[in-house]
């Protein structure tokens, strides 16, 4: 079963530009949250608001000071597609070594600068825009999941592990693709 239901969809230059602009806008907004591990600093509330506007059922919970978010957008019977990510970042280090303030989300010489842009606030921004495209243009059948934690850069004991426990407690199967062994594991 295919997640995309319209194989003839063409991404016009105008739409591509719109999506790219939105990814940059969302990434800049996420960068402004000073979410040094394990502090989420409001990132997940911002993400939850965006996902709720798309009709997602959002569940947030804390474990030992770590924020976790599980959200699902359901649209009929079909495959599940999940995005796993984290909102926490490592400390900034010496601020004098930065080309711009690390939590400002400034663009300099066509580069978006900020703590966490590559790992992984930029990825979250892109996933949100992709979800918007799929939902608003009715391009999918199935479920889109967002599994987000604020405990990846630190000890990583109360983030992804707690999300997996949440699925097990709900007696819901969760499979993850492990790139190190190139297969899905339960």
Q: Tell me how crowded residue 40 is: count the other CB atoms within 10 A of its CB.
A: 27
Give the whole-angstrom CA distance, residue 50 versus residue 62. Answer: 20
Q: Which of 161, 110, 154, 127 is nearest to 54 (CA)?
A: 127
Is the four-CA dihedral 28, 88, 61, 33 of positive or negative sign? negative
Q: Which of 39, 40, 151, 152 is catalytic?
A: 152
Q: Which of 152, 170, 174 is nearest to 66 (CA)?
A: 152
Q: Which of 39, 88, 151, 162 is catalytic?
A: 88
Clarify whether 29 is annotated catalytic: no
Which alpha helices (H) appear in the chain, and where do they start and end? 13-31, 43-53, 122-136, 160-169
Q: Which residues are catalytic?
A: 88, 152
């Amino acid at each position: 079963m295919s997640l995309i239901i319209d194989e003839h969809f063409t991404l016009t230059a105008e739409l591509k530009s719109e999506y790219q602009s939105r990814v940059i806008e969302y990434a800049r907004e996420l960068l402004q949250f000073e979410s040094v591990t394990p502090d989420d600093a409001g990132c997940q509330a911002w993400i939850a608001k965006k996902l709720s506007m798309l009709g997602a059922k959002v569940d947030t919970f804390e474990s030992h000071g770590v924020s976790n978010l599980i959200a699902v957008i359901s649209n009929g019977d079909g495959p599940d597609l999940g995005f796993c990510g984290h909102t926490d970042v490592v400390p900034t280090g010496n601020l004098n070594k930065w080309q711009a303030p690390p939590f400002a989300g400034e663009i300099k010489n066509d580069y978006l600068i900020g703590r966490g842009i590559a790992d992984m606030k930029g990825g979250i921004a892109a996933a949100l825009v992709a979800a918007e495209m799929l939902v608003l243009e009715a391009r999918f059948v199935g479920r889109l999941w967002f599994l987000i934690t604020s405990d990846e850069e630190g000890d990583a004991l109360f983030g992804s592990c707690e999300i997996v426990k949440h699925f097990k407690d709900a007696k819901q199967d969760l499979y993850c693709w492990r790139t190190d062994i190139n297969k899905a594991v339960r």
